[in-house]
């Protein structure tokens, strides 16, 4: 039994006189205890709305419809009333947001914002709460935590703010942590610090982590299982290595081909996906990715492609997937993308400035 089981989650925003927006359109995925699950996609694919819906943070407005199920440890998060949701939020499930400056209250010292969680969920007060808060800040690597407690968010740097936010999130040792683009607003060296911190926290406490990001590099380094979203649906699910080694959905292939790699040479052409995220077909009329797809066939249009289940937990939503290497010769359009990771990984082994021992893949 998975820790979190999201089944057929859908979120629609309707407004009078305007087309209904299907932000999330039947997303299903599951998260096991201690697992890191990635939700990857470009802007507008519904990855953030998914996380907000799970946390019950979507603005309550007429026209908002949330459907489906999200079972966390036996309770359906979507059916909870506000009161019991508040009990779970922060204690069992916590969230880290993208922009720490806008998710911290600017007029309240950091310490108070951290102790608030402790007071609400763990009943700690006064000096004990303050001591625990200082310990938390110390744990996430903030130097001189006692002094930091009295400071305001604007006095901290971006990386420190994100650390403070993480300290608040892990204050009650939640079983599930949702991180929505936790490093997008940060510089690369700070990003590396934060990712390392998240990895340590997950490893030490056995917290499950849902990592929402657009950065395939972050996914490659962190996630056990990856869900690729496009236009509000999961188009491909796979374990980390198979996904990068042999992506099956053309969108995943396209994404991997679009990313310039640090270990690729100058002038190597990228293989971008033509068109933009606006060129979508509504899912009921066929595959939403069809207008941009290089492997489009007639069957793509007409009805939505069914989810194809492949071996070892892989699944993709495509009628004409990129062939797995070794079965059929890959067409020229996708070949460099599929072959590249292996070839350059071998080159990397000799060329890398900082070789390091290989780590075992997490079970």
Partner 1 sequence: MTESDILVEVRDLKVHFPIKRGVIFDRTVGHVKAVDGVDLRIARGKTYGLVGESGCGKSTLGRALLQLTPPTSGEVSFDGVELTTLPAGRLRTMRRRMQMIFQDPMSSLDPRQNVESILTEGLQTHGIGGSRDERRKIIGETLDAVGLPRWALSRYPHEFSGGQRQRIGIARALVLGPELIVADEPVSALDVSIQAQVVNLLDELQDSLGLTYLVIAHDLAVVRHISDTIGVMYLGALVEEAPGDRLYTEPLHPYTRALMSAVPVPDPDVEDRRERILLAGDLPSPANPPSGCRFHTRCPWAQPTRCADERPVLREIGASRVACHWAEQIATGELRPHKVSAQITRPAGEGEEPHVVSAPSEPGSYV
- Which one of 21-29, 50-58, 296-304, 351-359 is the stretch in contact with partner 1 (CB under 8 A)? 351-359
Owner of token pair 């460099």: 336
Nearer to partner 1, 99 or 215 (CB): 215
Q: How far apart are CA 48 and CA 144, in angstroms?
A: 34
For residue 246, the 8-state DSSP code is S
Nearer to partner 1, 177 or 256 (CB): 256
Owner of token pair 């020229």: 332
Query: Of residues 18, 43, 61, 327, which one binds partner 1 by CB under 8 A?
Result: 43
Whether 100 contacts 185, CB under 8 Å: yes
Query: Of residues 75, 261, 281, 315, which one binds partner 1 by CB under 8 A?
Result: 261
Question: Exposure of 322 by Cβ count < 10 A (0-12 exposed, 13-18 middle, 19+ buried)?
Answer: buried
For residue 275, what are its two tokens? 């068109």
For residue 130, the 8-state DSSP code is H
- Collapsing DSSP to helix, strand or coil, 340 comes out as helix
Q: How far apart are CA 94 and CA 33, in angstroms?
A: 14
Q: How far apart are CA 85 and CA 92, in angstroms?
A: 10
**Does 159 participate in binding partner 1 (rule CB under 8 A)?**
yes
Q: How far is the CB of 301 from partner 1 (least distance, A)?
A: 21
Nearer to partner 1, 265 or 329 (CB): 265
Query: Of residues 60, 83, 266, 311, which one binds partner 1 by CB under 8 A?
Result: 266
Footprint on residues 11-40 left by partner 1 (CB under 8 A):
none
Whether 225 contacts 210, CB under 8 Å: no
Query: Of residues 7, 42, 73, 132, which one binds partner 1 by CB under 8 A?
Result: 42
For residue 269, what are its two tokens? 């052409």
Q: Which helix (H) or strand (E) holds 66?
A: strand 64-72
Nearer to partner 1, 8 or 144 (CB): 144
**Does 343 participate in binding partner 1 (rule CB under 8 A)?**
no
Q: How far is the CB of 75 from partner 1 (least distance, A)?
A: 24
Query: Of residues 75, 258, 315, 320, which one binds partner 1 by CB under 8 A?
Result: 258
**Does 83 participate in binding partner 1 (rule CB under 8 A)?**
no
**Does 322 participate in binding partner 1 (rule CB under 8 A)?**
no
| Residues linked to residue 70 through DSSP beta bridges, in sequence order | 6
Nearer to partner 1, 275 or 284 (CB): 275
**Does 309 participate in binding partner 1 (rule CB under 8 A)?**
no
Size, binding site for partner 1 by CB under 8 A: 82
């Amino acid at each position: 039994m998975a820790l979190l089981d999201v089944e057929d989650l859908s979120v629609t925003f309707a407004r009078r006189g305007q087309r209904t927006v299907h932000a999330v359109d039947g997303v299903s995925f599951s998260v096991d205890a201690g697992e890191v699950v990635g939700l990857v996609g470009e802007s507008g694919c519904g990855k953030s709305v998914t996380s907000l819906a799970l946390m019950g943070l979507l603005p309550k407005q007429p026209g908002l419809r949330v459907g489906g199920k999200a079972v966390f440890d036996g309770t359906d998060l979507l059916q909870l009333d506000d009161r019991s949701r508040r009990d779970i939020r922060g204690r069992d499930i916590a969230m880290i947001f993208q922009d720490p400056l806008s998710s911290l209250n600017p007029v309240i010292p950091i310490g108070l914002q951290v102790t608030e969680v402790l007071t609400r969920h763990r009943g700690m007060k006064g000096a004990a709460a303050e001591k625990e808060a200082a310990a938390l800040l110390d744990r996430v690597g903030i130097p001189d935590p006692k002094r930091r407690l009295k400071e305001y968010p604007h006095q901290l740097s971006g990386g420190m703010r994100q650390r403070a936010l993480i300290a608040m999130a892990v204050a009650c040792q939640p079983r599930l942590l949702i991180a929505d683009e936790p490093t997008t607003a940060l510089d690369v060296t700070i990003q590396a610090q934060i990712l390392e911190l998240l990895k340590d926290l997950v490893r030490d406490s056995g917290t499950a982590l849902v990592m929402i990001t657009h950065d395939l590099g972050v996914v490659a380094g962190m996630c056990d299982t990856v869900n690729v979203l496009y236009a509000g649906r999961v188009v491909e699910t796979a374990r980390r290595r198979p996904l990068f080694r042999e992506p099956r959905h053309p969108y995943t292939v396209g994404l991997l081909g679009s990313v310039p790699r640090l270990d690729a040479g100058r002038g190597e052409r990228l293989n971008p996906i033509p068109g933009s995220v606006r060129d979508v077909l509504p899912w009921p009329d066929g595959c939403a990715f069809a207008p941009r797809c290089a492997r489009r066939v007639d069957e793509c249009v007409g009805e939505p492609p069914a989810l194809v289940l492949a071996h070892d937990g892989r699944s993709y939503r495509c009628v004409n997937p990129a062939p797995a290497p070794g079965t059929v010769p890959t067409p020229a359009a996708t070949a460099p993308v599929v072959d590249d990771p292996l070839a350059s990984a071998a080159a990397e082994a000799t060329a890398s400035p900082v070789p390091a021992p290989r780590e075992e893949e997490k079970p």
